[in-house]
Chains A and B, each alone.
Chain A
Amino acid sequence: MRPIVEMKNVTKEFHGVAALRDVSFDLAPGEVHALLGENGAGKSTLTKIMAGVYEVTAGQLVIDGEPQSFKTPAEALQKGIAMVFQETSLVPSLTVAQNLYLGNEKFLNRLRGIYISAQQFLQSLNFGVDPTMFVSQLGAAQKQMVEIARAVHHKAKVIIFDEPTATLTPEEKHHFFALIRRLKKDGVSIIFISHALEEALAISDRITVLRDGQHVITDLAKNFDRDKIINAMVGRALSGELYGKAAQKRIPRPYGQKILSVQNLSMGRMVRNTSFSVYSGQITGIFGLIGSGRTETAKIISGVVKRDFFHGGEVKLEGRSVRYRVPRKAVKDGIVYVTEDRKIEGFFETKSIAENIYLNLLSADLNKNGVIVSYSEMIALAKEWTGKLNVRAINSDARVVELSGGNQQKVVIARALVQKPKLIIFDEPTRGVDVGAIAELHQVINSLADAGLAVVVISSYLPEIMNLADRVLVSRQGRVVEEFAMEEATEEKIMYAAVH
Chain B
Amino acid sequence: MTIAMGGWLERFLGRGAASVTVPPLDGALKPNSLLEEAQPGFTVAAPDNLALLGGAPVWSSGAQLLKLAGDKPSPFATLQSDVTALACSDAGLIAVACEKHGIAVLDHDGKPAITALRDGGKYACATALAFANNDTLLVCIGSTDNPLSAWQRDLLEQHRAGQLLRIDLKSGEVRQLANKLAFPNGVLADKDGSIIVSESWATRLIRLGPDGRMRAQLIEDLPGYPARLARAARGGYWLTVFAPRSPLIEFVLREPKYRRAMMAEVAPENWIAPALQSGLSFHEPMQGGALKQMGILKPWAPTRSYGLVVEVNENFVPVRSLHSRAGGRRHGITSAVESGGRLWLTSKGGDEVVTINL
Mark A residues whose CB is within 8 Å of B: 254-258, 261-264, 275-277, 279, 309-314, 316, 319, 321, 323, 471, 473, 480, 483, 485
Residue among B24, B26, B318 with most chain A CB within 10 A: B26
The reply to whether A257 and B24 contact each other, CB–CB distance below 8 Å, is no
The reply to whether A255 and B14 contact each other, CB–CB distance below 8 Å, is no
Query: Interface size (B, Cβ < 8 Å)?
Result: 22
Q: Is B30 an interface residue (CB 8 A)?
A: yes
* Residues in A whose Cβ lies below 8 Å from that of B13: 309-311
The reply to whether A319 and B220 contact each other, CB–CB distance below 8 Å, is yes
In the bound complex, CA of A445 to CA of B42 (Å) = 49
Question: Of the candidates A279, A313, A480, A483, which one forms a contact with B19 in the assembled complex, judged by CB atoms under 8 Å apart?
Answer: A313
Q: Output the nearest chain B residue to A275 by Cβ-Cβ distance.
A: B24
Interface of A is mostly: strand
With A263-B24, A309-B13 given, is the CB distance from A314 to B19 under 8 Å? yes
173-196 of chain B: CB within 8 A of chain A: none
21 contacts between A and B (CB under 8 A): A255-B27, A255-B317, A255-B319, A256-B317, A258-B317, A263-B21, A263-B22, A263-B23, A264-B19, A264-B22, A275-B23, A275-B26, A276-B24, A311-B14, A313-B19, A316-B221, A319-B217, A323-B15, A473-B26, A483-B26, A485-B30
The reply to whether A312 and B15 contact each other, CB–CB distance below 8 Å, is yes
Mark B residues whose CB is within 8 Å of A: 13-16, 19-24, 26-28, 30, 217, 220-221, 247, 315, 317-319
B25 to chain A, nearest CB (A): 9
With A276-B26, A316-B221, A485-B30 given, is the CB distance from A264 to B21 under 8 Å? yes
A48 to chain B, nearest CB (A): 47
A111 to chain B, nearest CB (A): 44
In the bound complex, CA of A480 to CA of B15 (Å) = 21
In the bound complex, CA of A473 to CA of B13 (Å) = 29
In the bound complex, CA of A261 to CA of B29 (Å) = 13
Q: Output the nearest chain A residue to B16 by Cβ-Cβ distance.
A: A321
With A255-B28, A277-B27, A485-B30 given, is the CB distance from A311 to B319 under 8 Å? no
In the bound complex, CA of A222 to CA of B319 (Å) = 47
In the bound complex, CA of A311 to CA of B319 (Å) = 32
B138 to chain A, nearest CB (A): 26
* Residues in A whose Cβ lies below 8 Å from that of B28: 255
A163 to chain B, nearest CB (A): 34
The reply to whether B19 and A311 contact each other, CB–CB distance below 8 Å, is yes
Question: Of the candidates A279, A309, A313, A471, which one forms a contact with B21 in the assembled complex, judged by CB atoms under 8 Å apart?
Answer: A313
The reply to whether B26 and A277 contact each other, CB–CB distance below 8 Å, is yes
Q: Which 10 A-B pairs have the closest CB atoms?
A: A311-B14, A263-B21, A275-B24, A264-B21, A314-B21, A314-B19, A319-B220, A255-B28, A483-B26, A261-B23
A164 to chain B, nearest CB (A): 36
* Residues in A whose Cβ lies below 8 Å from that of B247: 264
